[in-house]
Amino acid sequence: MFTDTTIGFIGSGNMAEAMIKGILRKGLVAPEFIFAADPREERLAYLQEKYGIRTSTSNREVARAADVLVLSIKPQVLPKVMKGINLDVRADALVLSIIAGARLKVLVKGLRHAAVVRAMPNTPGQFGEGMTVWTNTPHVTERQKNQAQAIIQALGKEIWVEDEGYLDMATALSGTGPAYVFLFIEALIDAGVHMGFSRHIAEEMVIQTIKGSVKVVEELGRHPATLRNMVTSPGGTSAAALYELEKGGFRTILSKAVFAAYRRSVELGDASEAAIED
């Protein structure tokens, strides 16, 4: 599927590195078939040294070489970057964008290129435990779709959706999801320290408790409310703690936070459409 296929990256930051790691771990292509562009020489030197890949400070050079061109830059620089490379993207190439809020319409117009995949991955992808939701334009061939899926699977689990609208929702739930979980972990550790545990002991306790709880949900396959009821004895400690969480609006706050991320993703999408009209 990937014989003689060059996978290019425009923007070689955190997410690009996570993808490069996953692609190499799965052996989809040899390191010399990965070609990464970034403005920072030190960043490229690090990636070259660590993964043995090819690098360049020229987006155009990478765009010209790529069979699959991954766009892994921040949304703010997308219009400028597209203008810079739209004459260089090969007619038979597949463009795979992971940029939050960048709609297929914008990518197709900005790059003057029809075969585009839009994906929303998350950072656990660097350890093969990611969650990616993705979709594509009708011009993506079956082979390109399989290639995109294999690259995305190198990051972990994936869900293909027909309706692009789900991408903004995925951005809010799984794309941004690790940020909520990290805050939850941090807050629990702080609570442990507040009671008197040393920080490293509290960290170990919290991380293992979260890992174990995820395992219970996965293995038992029961509704979380049922599992919560199972650990809530009458007049017990869980009941006392859950009462305070509900009183503080825990689930409403969480829901509002996810919705705020969703609105922001839609706003970024609107802004990228407006920028392309200019």
Task: Determine the Cα–Cα distance for residues 35 and 56; give it in Å rounded to an integer.
Answer: 7
By the rule CB under 6 A, 175 interacts with ligand NAP: yes
Q: Which one of residues 1, 25, 32, 39 is an interface residue with ligand NAP (CB under 6 A)?
A: 39
Q: Which one of residues 121, 156, 177, 192 is an interface residue with ligand NAP (CB under 6 A)?
A: 121
Q: Which one of residues 2, 6, 7, 12 is an interface residue with ligand NAP (CB under 6 A)?
A: 12
Task: Determine the Cα–Cα distance for residues 152 and 22; give it in Å rounded to an integer.
Answer: 9
By the rule CB under 6 A, 206 interacts with ligand NAP: no
Residue 130 beta carbon to ligand NAP: minimum distance, rounded to whole angstroms:
9
By the rule CB under 6 A, 13 interacts with ligand NAP: yes
Give the interface size with ligand NAP as a residue count (CB under 6 A): 27
Tell which residue, 148, 132, 140, has the closest CA to residue 23.
Answer: 148
**Read out DSSP for 97-152?**
E--TT--HHHHHHHHT-S-EEEEE--GGGGGT-EEEEEEE-TTS-HHHHHHHHHHH
By the rule CB under 6 A, 177 interacts with ligand NAP: no
Q: Which one of residues 25, 40, 215, 263 is an interface residue with ligand NAP (CB under 6 A)?
A: 40
By the rule CB under 6 A, 73 interacts with ligand NAP: yes
Which one of the spans 97-105, 134-142, 195-203, 213-221 is the region binding ligand NAP (CB under 6 A)? 97-105
By the rule CB under 6 A, 99 interacts with ligand NAP: yes
**Are 151 and 28 in contact, with CB atoms under 8 Å apart?**
yes
**Are 51 and 23 in contact, with CB atoms under 8 Å apart?**
no
Which one of the spans 8-16, 199-207, 231-239, 251-259 is the region binding ligand NAP (CB under 6 A)? 8-16
56 bridge partner residues = 37
Tell which residue, 150, 8, 16, has the closest CA to residue 66.
Answer: 8
Q: Which one of residues 7, 44, 96, 98 is an interface residue with ligand NAP (CB under 6 A)?
A: 98
Work out the angle at residue 148's Cα, subtended by the Cα atoms of residues 271 and 120, and round it to the nearest 5 degrees.
35
- For ligand NAP, the closer of residues 101 and 192 by Cβ is 101
Tell which residue, 122, 123, 135, has the closest CA to residue 165.
Answer: 135
55 bridge partner residues = 36
By the rule CB under 6 A, 110 interacts with ligand NAP: no
- For ligand NAP, the closer of residues 28 and 37 by Cβ is 37
Q: What strands lie across the sheet with 54-56, from one edge to the other?
A: 54-56, 34-37, 7-10, 68-71, 94-97, 116-120, 130-136, 156-160
Residues that bind ligand NAP (CB under 6 A): 10-16, 37-40, 43, 59, 72-75, 77, 81, 98-100, 120-123, 175
